[in-house]
Chains A and B, each alone.
Chain A
Amino acid sequence: MITFIVNGKTHEFSGDPTTPVLWYLRDELQLTGSKFGCGMGQCGACTVHINGVAQRSCVLPVSAVSGSKITTIEGLSEDGEHPVQQAWIEHKVPQCGYCQCGQMMQAASLLATNPTPTDDEIVQEMSGNICRCGTYPRIHKAIKSASKTLAAVQYYDPKVKGEQA
């Protein structure tokens, strides 16, 4: 029996422990926001957060995430209010939309550790996520704009003490 927390809820899985997290999420939990794109960690359509860090769920067996917190796009925010989702809407990033959940999960993970990435850092972090519609320029702009929102929140959060406050 493998136990983990998906979007805040505890789940148990007693099936094949080699099952990739992606297929567990999609087939068992019907959380379909995470997409299948390549099955070998090459395209990023399946990106989820494991304990807050972006990982490719298509090559990650459930046995490796026992006891972990998994966040999918469905759990990124209640109603699409995460700054990355808002920035995606503001810049009208998606075309077909298939890769975008993975793109947003990757971007959210980047900004969580580096709220003000440089242009090159964005390119480096996001080049593992493929978009065949070619929305890269808009993704880049959306991350810059989400970065401003996140940085602003951080700078003005009264609870934050020290240099940043």
Chain B
Amino acid sequence: MSQYFDLTRRGFLKSTAATGALIFGTYLAGGAPRVIAGVLAKPSESAKTANLFVALRPDGIVEITCHRSEMGQQIRTAIAQIVADEMEAAWDKVVVIQGKGDAKYGDQNTDGSRSIRYNMQRLREMGASVRHLMRQAAATRWNVPVDSCSAEQHVVTHSSGKTLTYAELVNDALSITPPELAQITLKKRSEWRYINTAMEHIDLKDIVMGKATFAADVFEPKALIAVVVRPPVVGGKVKSFDAKATKAIDGVIDVIEIPAPQGAPQFQPKGGIAIIAKNTWAAIKGRRALSVTWDDGKNGDYNSEVFKASLLATVASPQSSVREIGDAANILANSSDKLVADYYAPHLAQAPMEPPCATAIYYKDRVDVWAATQNPQADMATVGAMVGMPKEQINVHVTMLGGGFGRKSKPDFSAEAAYLAMKTGKAIRVQWTREDDIQNSFYHAVSAQHIEASLDKNGAIEAYLHRTAFTPIASTFVEGATAPLSLELRLGFTDNPINTPNMKLESGEAPAKTRIGWMRSVSNVFHAFAVQSFIAEAAHKAGRDQKDYLLETIGPNRILDVTEENAEYDNYGADKANYPLDIGKLRHVIEKVADMSAWGRKLPKGRGLGIAAHRSFLTYVATVVEVEVSDKGDLKIIKSWVSIDAGTVVNTDTVKNQVQGGSIYGITAALSEGITFDKGKVQQSNFHDYRVPRMSDSPLEVEVEIIPSDAPPAGVGEPATPVYAPALCNAIFAACGKRIRQLPIGDQLKA
């Protein structure tokens, strides 16, 4: 797409204003989604209040604005599929424009696997409104009843056979009052031509040609490059620095201190020293030559080994109740043959392939930013606070993201660029290196969990106690917060699907000594690891097949409402009526994946199958992993099978790609040594010591089946990740009898 930014579009609209383009939008979410039309000579009143734009140009080209960030989930394509389908637009006449950060769009925070869930209905309504308007315009021109006109592929056809194209109808439509919601009819599912198909994504060819614009590929404006050395310990400050050697390097222009953040980390830059240079290499060399003395502050004692012991100690004793039914504590206290397991998982860094990067220009009344951001409205607020301007004066252009995984929801890098642009008066691009990314992330929480259960005489779980403790995301927003937010617990902990008369779930506290953030699937990753591993452990203790026992343990088809068990649960902010926690659906994905993988088949020695199932982001996923473990303890993942029920899906191939990739992302949790700290400093720095899955670590086939569904759309980007590590570890147990409770797997198979 050459017309990527809406900057280009503004230019276009100016140049064609005389001929008139038809602009559609809906009001903010919550308001009546009524279509408004108008000529954009200059931004009209209607355009200002509109949020999701569909612009039908006089030449018949349809411009569809994508207000969510593109990071590989093909949201730009999905939004276009929905609008164009309902609109009956010809696909070759669709152009997608990337929206800037703007509150008028409503939520733009591209995380939580919710872009389609939040937007599908209003996008359909908008598309259908345009289709209605086209039919109306033709009917008026021909003086015939609107019902005798049908719209298909950019053409309105009368029952007599005469036709008018959408382009020919643009001018007529300008004088027609757009329909009220009640007047429009959405297509039936059987009439969809783009939605729920595997059509090719719109940016594919640009990517394959090397033409996609990521954050570091923005050359207008021509910027100076800044590389920043940040305090190695969170909360640390610059004590002193010597820039003499740095300034002597050819190409280095300036050395500027960035102030230390105040209070809770939020998305503030960590502070430090920026080296500004004519090109990237000079900036990198300048940083190597810089000598800085740091005051490490109160987190200088952070040591991962010590912290692990304290987390395990926390979950060894009773903590705050999160959910309770029956009398688990008492039954377990008196049980002589209970199964007890502690699980541990380290910090992880999201490590998107594109390290954080942003360009900024400072003007006295505004700042322009180009950033690989998942949440441009957070950039507006963070940059505004950094330069002392209202957020409305911060223009944030969203580039393509080279992966996000939650890291790019935190725009500290944009604030760095804006601050340096303000200080220098120049356009500045802040380029993070991989070391910067690994050592200055907002890390996935380190966690410990303790589970114990007693089995009845049939082997079923009669009492279940589960304690979790992890460094909470809450600490990033509230200084000193040690207890998790309810929304962190509802990610795979509060919504435990085990069907038992006695259950007690408890949550402990943990003081975060680094910046904590969310990574793809968030606390679902370690919670699903513990729950799904434990169920397989219990199956083994009961002498049962993993898959059969998993089905029995989650119990019969029913709607589970955990709020009836003294729990706080917001169901991912979704209505319980539309998105109930449906155990039947969880059972169905398990049964499906068992079929796909020919569960129960005889395997050669050293091979094993593992299964795990989990609901997250309102989507049900079950995964089977087949592994081979050699006598020496070498692990090879042979193949994976995934069954997913995400409700209505827009692009079936994208869903499969996301599920394949989400599975492989899940391997990180199992294989990576994670991020560890000593004396407050991250001990890893690049891909040589922060291991991420490579092709040699991955299955060469991840077979995915999407459960056909006409339920409302649920999440796709994240739900395949949490099940992977437990399915893998269950497979390892099946293959060689070694149970992995502590991640990473490391050399546990060699012992």
Q: Which residues of A contact B (CB under 8 A)?
A: 15-16, 18-20, 23, 26-28, 30, 32-40, 42-43, 45, 72-74, 79-80, 85, 88-89, 92, 94-101, 104, 119, 122-124, 126-140
Inter-chain pairs besides A23-B281, A97-B400, 14 sampled, C-beta below 8 Å: A16-B281, A27-B225, A32-B219, A40-B686, A43-B434, A72-B210, A74-B209, A96-B400, A97-B203, A134-B693, A134-B698, A135-B660, A136-B700, A137-B700
What CA separation (Å) do A37 and B698 show in the bound complex? 20
Which residues of A lie under 8 Å from residue B72 when comparing CB positions?
94-97, 133
Binary A-proximity of B208-239 (CB < 8 A = 1, otherwise 0): 11111110110100000100000000000000
Which residues of B lie under 8 Å from residue A138 when comparing CB positions?
657, 660
| B284 to chain A: closest residue by CB | A39
Which residues of A lie under 8 Å from residue B219 when comparing CB positions?
30, 32
| A30 to chain B: closest residue by CB | B219
Which residues of B lie under 8 Å from residue A136 when comparing CB positions?
664, 693-695, 698, 700
Binary A-proximity of B71-89 (CB < 8 A = 1, otherwise 0): 1111000000000000000
Which residues of B lie under 8 Å from residue A37 when comparing CB positions?
353-355, 434
Query: In whole Å, how far is B406's beta carbon from the nearest beta carbon of chain A?
Result: 12
Beta-carbon contact of B434 and A94 below 8 Å: no
Binary A-proximity of B657-670 (CB < 8 A = 1, otherwise 0): 11011111101000
| A27 to chain B: closest residue by CB | B279
Q: Given A19-B281, A23-B281, A28-B279, answer yes or no on A95-B686 (Cβ-Cβ < 8 Å).
A: no
Which residues of A lie under 8 Å from residue B284 when comparing CB positions?
39
| A-facing residues in B650-690 (Cβ within 8 Å) | 653, 657-658, 660-665, 667, 686-688
Interface residue from A38, A100, A130, A140 paired with B208 (Cβ < 8 Å): A100
Beta-carbon contact of B208 and A35 below 8 Å: no
| A88 to chain B: closest residue by CB | B208
| B520 to chain A: closest residue by CB | A132
What CA separation (Å) do A111 and B225 show in the bound complex? 37
What CA separation (Å) do A16 and B249 show in the bound complex? 10
B207 at the interface (CB under 8 A from A): yes
| B279 to chain A: closest residue by CB | A27
B403 at the interface (CB under 8 A from A): yes
Give the number of A-B contacts (CB < 8 Å).
Answer: 186
| B661 to chain A: closest residue by CB | A134
Beta-carbon contact of A85 and B403 below 8 Å: no
B433 at the interface (CB under 8 A from A): yes
Beta-carbon contact of A27 and B701 below 8 Å: no
| B225 to chain A: closest residue by CB | A27
Query: In whole Å, how far is A141's beta carbon from the nearest beta carbon of chain B?
Result: 8
Which residues of B lie under 8 Å from residue A80 when comparing CB positions?
205, 208-209
Which residues of A lie under 8 Å from residue B210 when comparing CB positions?
32-34, 72-74, 101
B317 at the interface (CB under 8 A from A): no
Beta-carbon contact of B214 and A137 below 8 Å: no
Query: In whole Å, how far is B431's beta carbon from the nearest beta carbon of chain A?
Result: 7
Beta-carbon contact of B661 and A95 below 8 Å: yes
Q: Given A39-B433, A132-B665, A137-B698, answer yes or no on A33-B211 (Cβ-Cβ < 8 Å).
A: yes
Beta-carbon contact of A89 and B354 below 8 Å: no
What CA separation (Å) do A152 and B402 show in the bound complex? 34
Which residues of B lie under 8 Å from residue A72 when comparing CB positions?
210
Which residues of A lie under 8 Å from residue B702 when comparing CB positions?
137
Interface residue from B355, B402, B695 paired with A96 (Cβ < 8 Å): B402
Beta-carbon contact of A98 and B687 below 8 Å: no
B401 at the interface (CB under 8 A from A): yes
| B702 to chain A: closest residue by CB | A137
| A94 to chain B: closest residue by CB | B207
| A103 to chain B: closest residue by CB | B695
Which residues of A lie under 8 Å from residue B282 when comparing CB positions?
16
